[in-house]
Structure 1
Amino acid sequence: MSHIVTTEKMRPKEKPEYADEFLKLHEGIMNPGIVASIRRVAIVSMLGIVSLLFLGEILDVRDLYHRPISIILAVIGINLLSEGNVLINRTLNKRIPWFGKLTQRIAIQLGLSFTWLVLITFLFYTLAPRTLSKEAIMSFLFGTLFILFFNSILIMRNFAYSWRQSIVENEQLKQAKLHADYMALQNQLNPHFLFNSFSVLISEIQYNPKSAVEFAQKMSDVYRYVLQQRNATTTTLKAELDFMSDYQFLHKIRMGEALDLKMDIDPTHLNLELPPITLQVLVENAIKHNRATKKQPLNIHISSNANNEIIVCNNLNPKSTTYSTGVGLENILERYKLLTNKQVLVHNDQKNFSVTLPLLGKNELPESI
């Protein structure tokens, strides 16, 4: 029976190239600061005057040129309209963010903007000179539509900016959670391994006291490696194999010829990476779950292949009762999920049990863990 685990590659946190430019432009126009407000008023005034004169020419409204008060009032009205919409947008950003209740936010913003437009238009019509032609008033109204379009662009940019910020923040939270999950999973190995090592040491003290001191020294060397790798995401295959030699010694003292552990590794794979303590967990599980005697030894074979994979295979002779915390293999699978989208293959044909794990190059590792 085979089980293939397909994992999703964790993407490193990236900052879009346009982020800084977008942020500067957004802050330069939409900020509540004095400089940004002056810049915004200047842009709106210029657009308002140009639109009024342009529409005046189209509609043949000559009194616009002879009555500066009309243009002044129109520019004031247009700026009030613009600043009111910016203020409405800014206030709603605090009270009803775009990504909180989008439909409600759109409805409220459109309602307030329309109410503000009606109010400004009424004020303009009330304060405008009585002799102002209907065409001049129409020019103002067309100008307000132009400014509303300009405001809509600003608001849409604000929406896009908020959306980008939300994506970045969500990605940061996701990466932080993945990192926390990864470290929590890896930390499960340390007490798990320590518990089993002390169990072996107790056995050695009981059955072979003379070798207990040497065993304790080797156990110290092995656990030192575990502590050194505590905060590491990955380690080289060479380091893992060196660690496995010490670990093999611990079990060889007790099991003797009942354990046959062989390694057949392509030297070109030694600098590739894998999660630390991975090989130890697989070998430990094989020893823990299978009977091993001199006549029926437990054969464990660690090898690598041309696909940059490492295979840990052992023959099966299951113990009738074995206590298991379920940490070992599941931990390896979860750690690989956080590291790569390459497949992990677990194969059990009732005679042999094997786990095939991808070896990773430096350029294949996520930067964010």
Structure 2
Amino acid sequence: MTNENGGCVSRRDKWKRQVRMLVVIPIIGSLVISYFFCPQCISEGDYGQFALSVLVSYLYWIALSVGNSLLVDGLGRYLDWLHKPVERTIASLILMILYTVFVVFVMNYVIVAYLMHKDFWEMLYGGHLKGSIITTVSIALFISMFFHARGFFVSWRDAAVQNEKLNTENATSKLETLKSQVNPHFLFNSLNALTSLVYDDQQKAVDFIHKLSDVYRYVLQSQNQELVPLSDELAFTQSFVYLNEIRFGKNFAVTITGMDQMAGQDHVPPLALQMLVENCIKHNEISKERPLSIQIDYRSDSVLVSNSLNPIQQEKPDSTGLGLKNITSRYSYLSDREVKVTTDQSQFTVEVPIIKLETS
């Protein structure tokens, strides 16, 4: 994780957190537990026995903390607290109990067999370890519950932070989209093309006005949505493409394939495809000598937008790829699948994942 200081502070914070979780807290907890169970060790000056008790308690704490942390992380990959709370709770309880009993059993075996030099199984079946094991398991379960509860609250906090980031990204997206679509240059170019059409082809001028209206209507309608049907996004993108085909003529061509295979549950973030097409136009030269061709290809789980490379020799200083960054950021909060960007000497390709939603 990076921050204003280039990531150094976060590494230091991570190191401090590890020291706190693996050294400071376990030692303090071990001292408290050892004093609770053996106060006479201090009062009678049996510091060797007290130190041994602290060491055993510390080893218990480390085994339980590390093991349960791994369990929390492992379960998080398959059962999310927020989306499957019941299944996660049941799985956590079962694995926590099994792991805790296992740790207590192994630790007692080591203590009895190697420190006390006695027959573990004889003492176990003779009932001599019953009270010790019950007490140890109870304390161990309490410690384990702490780590699993901590895992839940960390997940809840992270989800809240991600939701806030997503809201910020959506607000940024709306602003950037409105700025790009309603800026004077876009409007000037559209009206300039429309002026020519009015004299040359009145029917095409009417179609142009309808498409321009569709573009602005869609921008306004989708600005409060996190996801839109892929079919709607494609229709909007086609309207945007039409306006630019009028503007650039035969020097600009967009080919769309595979869209007849779209499913009703296919969704993407609003304006994602349009932003990619706009990026192609923004960062490439479009002329008779160097025409621009764009390919939009539907796959079962993604959409590929690729274009021929005609890079502008001297781009404007503000041409920083904000559109692509915006799309990538939004996907990082909406899906666990990433936007993929590939490029070679002749072609630039962006693959955006399709998010499947159940439709009623």
TM-score, with structure 2 as normaliser? 0.57
- Residue aligning to 1:331: 326
The structure whose RCO (Cα within 8 Å, separation 6+) is larger is 1
Counterparts in 2 of 1:211 and 1:167: CA distance versus 1, 3 Å: farther
Q: Which residue of the partner structure matches residue 109 of structure 1?
A: 33
Question: Retained in 1: the 8 A contact 2:332–2:338?
Answer: no
Deviation at 1:310, TM superposition (A): 1.7
% same residue: 27
Q: Please state if 1:360 is matched with 2:355.
A: yes
Aligned to 2:223: 230
**Hey, what does 1:350 align to over in structure 2?**
345
**Residue deviations 1:73-94 (CA, integer Å, cap 9, x gap):** xxxxxxxxxxxxxxxxxxxxxx
Give distance in 2, aligned partners of 1:258 and 1:102. 70
Indicate yes or no: 2:253 matched with 1:256. no
Q: Which residue of 2 aligns with 1:10?
A: none
Query: Contact (CA 8 Å) 2:211, 2:239: kept in 1 or not?
Result: yes
1:255 CA displacement: 2.6
Residues 29-73 of structure 1, C-alpha deviation per residue, up to 9 Å, x if partnerless? xxxxxxxxxxxxxxxxxxxxxxxxxxxxxxxxxxxxxxxxxxxxx
Unaligned runs of 5+ in 2: 1-19, 44-126, 199-204
Deviation (angstroms), 1:283? 0.1
Question: Which residue of the partner structure matches residue 280 of structure 1?
Answer: 274
Aligned to 2:307: 314
Q: Which of the numbers 144, 152, 164 marks the counterpart of 1:168? A: 152
**Residue 5 of structure 2 aligns with which residue?**
none
Q: Which residue in the other structure is 1:34 paired with?
A: none
The correspondence for 1:188, drawn from 157, 165, 172, is 172
The secondary structure found in structure 1 opposite 2:277 is helix
Q: Distance in 2 between matches of 1:348 and 1:200?
A: 28
User: Aligned letter for 2:341?
Assistant: V
Asked if 2 retains the 8 angstrom alpha-carbon contact of 1:288 and 1:322, the reply is no
Quick one: which amino acid aligns to residue 293 of structure 1? Answer: S
TM-score when scaled to structure 1? 0.55
Q: Which residue of 1 aligns with 2:287?
A: 293
Does structure 1 conserve the Cα–Cα contact (< 8 Å) formed by 2:268 and 2:353? yes
Equivalent of residue 189 in structure 2, options 203, 218, 242: 203
Give runs of ≥4 in structure 1 deviating > 6 Å: 96-100, 116-119, 210-217
* C-alpha contact (below 8 Å) 1:302/1:312 kept by paired residues: yes
Evaluate the alpha carbon distance shift between residue 180 and residue 227 of structure 1 in structure 2; reply closer, same or farther with a 3 A threshold: farther
The equivalent residue for 1:83 is none
> Measured at CA, do residues 220 and 176 of structure 1 come closer, stay the same or move farther in structure 2, by a change above 3 Å?
farther
Structure 1 letter corresponding to 2:233: E
Q: Distance in 2 between matches of 1:331 and 1:102?
A: 44
Q: Which runs of 5+ in 1 are unaligned?
A: 1-95, 120-142, 364-369
CA contact (8 A) 2:193 2:246 kept: no
Q: Which amino acid aligns with 2:149?
A: Q
How many matched pairs? 244
- Counterpart CA distance in 1 for 2:42 and 2:24 is 28
Instruction: Verify the 8 A CA contact 1:97 1:105 in the aligned structure 2.
Output: no
Q: CA RMSD in A?
A: 3.7
